[in-house]
Amino acid sequence: MSMATTIITDMFAYDFMINAFTAAGIAAVVSGIVGYFLVMRGQTFAGHALSHIGFAGATGAGLIGLAPLWGLIAFTLAAGVIMGALSERISNRDVAIGVVLALALGFGLLFLHYHTSFATQATALLFGNVLAVDHAMIATLALLGAITLAGLAFIMRPLVFSSLQPELAEAKGVPLRAVSVAFLAIVALAVSVCAQIVGVLLVFTLMVGPPAAAQRVTTGLWSGLFVSAGLAIGEAWLGLTMAFYTDWPVSFCIACLSALAYFVCIALPKQTRPAQVAPAS
C-alpha cells in the first residue's frame, strides 16, 4: 500500500474527518464561486464587513437562546440588503464600512459580556471549527449553499453586465441597485456558510484568496470560476490533511495555503483579460 493511500485511509477512518471534508467542500465551492464576483466587483472589503456583522448576530442569537447560525444569517442578510441599497452612496467609502464592522464587533463583545458561557462557541465563530461539524450542520450548509448558488445563477447575466460595464448596463435598463442588493444578499449567505469552516475573521481565506488568484491566471469567466472553485477546494482539503497530521489549527493551514497560492499566481505573468460585454437580456 502506498504512502498516499495510507494517509487517506488513516484520515477517513474517523467520522469527524469525513464530515469535515464534506462541509469544507461545500463551503469551498460556494466561496470560490461567489467570491469570484466579489473580487471582480471590487467589493471584497464589504464582504469582510459582512462577516464581522454576522459575528454580532451570532453572539446576539446565543444571548437569547437561539442557534448562532441563524443570528449570523439574519444579521448578514440584513446588512447585505442595506449595503446593496446604499451601494452608490457607500461606493469607495472604506472608512464608513470600517466603522460599521468595528461597531459590529463591539456589539459582539457586549453580547458576550452578558453571556459568558457562550465564549467557547464565540471562539469557534471567530476562527472556525470544521472538525466539530455534524450531519445536521452538513445538511444545513448544503441547503444554504444550494440556495446561494441558485440565486447567483438567477442574477448572473445582469450581474456580469453591470460589473463589467455599469454605465452601459444602466443605459440598457439593467436595475443596478436591485442587482447590487441581490448580490450582497447572496454574499451574506456565502459568508454564513464560509464562517462555519474558517470563522468570521478568516472569511477572506476562501472568499477572496482563491478568486483573486484565479483572476491572475485566467481570462474567461467560466475558466475563472472553475479555477477559483478548484483552488478553494484544494486549499480546504489540503488544509484539513495538514491539520490532521500536524495538530495545527485547520483555519491556519487553510489561510497559509490560500496566501501561498495567491503569491504564486501573482508571481506569474498576468493574463490579459479581453474586453467583455454581457448582454442585458
Asked if residue 277 belongs to a domain, the reply is no
Asked if residue 80 belongs to a domain, the reply is yes
Query: CA-CA distance, 175 to 180, in Å (whole number)?
Result: 9
All three cell numbers of 70: 441563524
Closest CA relative to residue 41, chosen from 161, 147, 170: 161
Asked if residue 95 belongs to a domain, the reply is yes
Q: What is the pLDDT of residue 275?
A: 43
Asked if residue 106 belongs to a domain, the reply is yes
Q: Which domain holds residue 15?
A: 3-267
Asked if residue 275 belongs to a domain, the reply is no
Asked if residue 274 belongs to a domain, the reply is no
Mean pLDDT by 10-residue block, N- to C-terminus, for the chain (281 residues)?
Answer: 62 89 94 94 82 82 81 87 68 61 78 69 73 89 94 94 88 88 91 83 86 92 95 95 90 92 87 50 43
Q: What is the pTM of this model?
A: 0.85
Q: What is the pLDDT of residue 129?
A: 80
Do 137 and 196 form a contact (C-beta atoms < 8 A)?
A: yes
Q: What is the pLDDT of residue 47?
A: 79
Q: What is the pLDDT of residue 2?
A: 57
Asked if residue 12 belongs to a domain, the reply is yes
Query: CA-CA distance, 75 to 61, in Å (whole number)?
Result: 10
Query: CA-CA distance, 11 to 205, in Å (whole number)?
Result: 23
How many domains in the chain? 1
Asked if residue 278 belongs to a domain, the reply is no
Q: What is the pLDDT of residue 154?
A: 95
Q: What is the pLDDT of residue 87?
A: 61
Q: How many residues does the chain have?
A: 281
Q: What is the pLDDT of residue 277?
A: 44
Closest CA relative to residue 69, chosen from 125, 12, 8: 125
Closest CA relative to residue 101, chosen from 48, 43, 59, 39: 48
CATH number of domain containing 172: 1.10.3470.10
